[in-house]
Amino acid sequence: MHNLWIETESRLLTGDSALRVYSSRLLGCDKSLVLHGGGNTSVKIIEKNAFGEDEELLYVKGSGWDLEKIEEAGFSPVRLDYVRRLAQLPSLPDPQMVNELVTHMTRASAPVPSVEAILHAILPYKYVDHTHADAVIAITNTLRGESRIQEIYGDLVVVIPYVMPGFDLARLCAERFPAEAGAHTIGMVLLNHGIFSFGETAKESYERMIKLVGRAEDYLKRSEAWDICWPDVARPLKNVSLDLARLRREISDIAGFPVILARHADTKSLAFAARSDVATISQQGPATPDHVIRTKRVPMLGRDVKDYAKEYGEYFSIHEPLATERKTMLDAAPRIALDPELGMCTIGRTAKDAAVVAEIYSHTMEIILQATALGGYRALPAKDIFDVEYWDLEQAKLRKSGNPAIFAGEVALVTGAASGIGKACVDALLSRGAAVVGLDINPKISTLHKRADFRGILCDVTSEEQLKHALEKAGDAFGGLDMLILNAGIFPGGCHIDALKTEDWQRVMQVNLDANLVLLRECHPLLKLAPRGGRVVVIGSKNVPAPGPGAAAYSVSKAALTQLMRVAALEWGGDGIRINSLHPNAVFDTGIWTEEVLASRARHYGLSVEEYTKNNVLRTEVTSRDVAELAAEMCGPLFAKTTAAQVPVDGGNDRVI
């Protein structure tokens, strides 16, 4: 455990709040202490109220803020005297507790205070820090967890048995802490939950946390339970994309909505999933109650559902999928699936959610094996897990979450995605909640977006091998495919048939037609498994209904692609896949319209470039975004009953009309 406090940095900060932010961020940046919104910190400050009177406030981390990036605005100021009085009540339903906290804040714009605000209030220290330190959790989650903690810390900490976070925990601590704390007490351990430290300064509280967690790490080292060996497991050579898509479809059916499924086939994940005892050690529950909502349950693929019925029958319904031997649970979709071939698959409503689950369970795997090395991992009983998952505060949070984005949990693939219409399609799909895979020969595709729900893959679409490899990467990233936007294409300079070279003709056909045939063929089994049915949008051209001279290769390739779309619509309708085409024209902010090509086509029609860009019935400019927004809508519910349609996006063309 490393002390990250830098004295020269802290001296530049003025005021208790600034130091509270500084030390909170130090805790938050250490993932062995805090993961994704977990943990909380507080400081007690005296301020003047509207009457000029001194008033002691508890500034506690607000809901929705992550310690790693928290700012002063992320702390909720609550009147301390009132909060302490709440701890004296014999009982207080948690929703009412939250209401009392919110209605006794001094800043209306502040976030909802942490549900552990009362616990922070009753601890008689200026600064209070709370983390879910991996080392401490590994020790408490063993058969002799409490006695081990007593052995490690002695009178340095007060030990509190597990109680679900909220009022009941605060009430218990209010009773026990004053009676059990002594002159040497610098912290408190909540069994199966986490650890607190406190002090009169931010530095003191922070350094006590580092000291306490360091003791736990040293204990694991002395017990030969610290270093974990992750054997290098042989990776399957076969393409598992279809397996992932089937699994994603099953889980989506159970959830009742599409989900993102991300595969993790790193050494740690494969080694853990391949353990002979994984069916036992992975099924006992999460490391802390803080992880329950984020990770749910961990189904072992291939595990008999009767095991679940025996273990959790009182709390959960059981579902046996019809089309596969993989087993999971019905009551709520699992967040993690372990398989010796696939490794660890994490599931979420969004790619970000799946990534959060992955990071949490990566730490959980280490905690489980460290606890196993100490004699056996033992998490919370099933009933406690159930109580947290169906905590009325969590249910209220779900009710308030509102409707998800239209494509939440769905996956789209866009070709030619680095610029022009393809890039605009990526943006349109992301804005609607989809996870998007973008393919392009331009290296810029790799850095087009830095976010969990986008993967940019460098790919020459004329290479069948590269296309298949790209689909494997897409499967690993998001688990399947729901939408396919066939956009990649080239538009050579104007050339009449009598001067058209064979190699130029073939090159256009390779990019505009042949590559799309391969993609359609390879994507078909994935699109069949799309929870809401597969959707394909082909970016065609005005040249399909109204070809022009000097564009033979381009016009023919787009016409052939449109005919391919029509045949696919006939063949794939029974699979629930709809496929439609857009025919844009005069979209000049795309990669194929270089200044030279634009000038050439304008000269061909005897127009200036300005006249040429608005040479349509509506005298309007058509942009990449215009095409992309309609492409995205064609994947949505408004076009649910439409297939094989050809829709112009051209401002009106007199030759087409």
CA 145-149-150 angle, to 5 degrees, is: 120
Tokens (6 digits) for 225:
């339970």
Determine phi and psi for 262, rounding to 5 degrees: -110, 130
DSSP string, 522-586: HHHHHHHT-TT--EEEEE--TTTTS--TTBHHHHHHHHHHHHHHHHHHHHHGGGT-EEEEEEE--
503-517 in b/e form (b: 16+ CB < 10 A) is: ebbeebbbbbbbbbe
Nearest CA-CA partner of 523 in 464, 563, 589, 477 = 464
Determine phi and psi for 131, rounding to 5 degrees: -130, 170
| Angle of helix 16-28 versus helix 202-222 axis, rounded to 10 | 20
> Can you give the C-alpha Rg of the chain in angstroms?
30
Residue type, 548: G
3-state secondary structure of 38: coil
Dihedral (CA of 493, 497, 501, 505) sign: positive
Catalytic residue ranges: 554
Residue with tokens 């304008």: 602
Separation between Cα atoms, residue 152 and residue 385, nearest integer Å? 27
Determine phi and psi for 544, rounding to 5 degrees: -70, -55
Tokens (6 digits) for 471:
């689909």
What are the strands of the beta sheet with 336-339, ordered from one edge?
260-264, 343-348, 336-339
Cβ atoms of 620 and 653 within 8 Å: the answer is: no
Detail the DSSP E strand segments found in 186-320. Answer: 187-190, 194-199, 260-264, 318-319
Separation between Cα atoms, residue 615 and residue 653, nearest integer Å? 8
3-state secondary structure of 338: strand
Separation between Cα atoms, residue 535 and residue 531, nearest integer Å? 11
Q: Which helix (H) or strand (E) holds 337?
A: strand 336-339
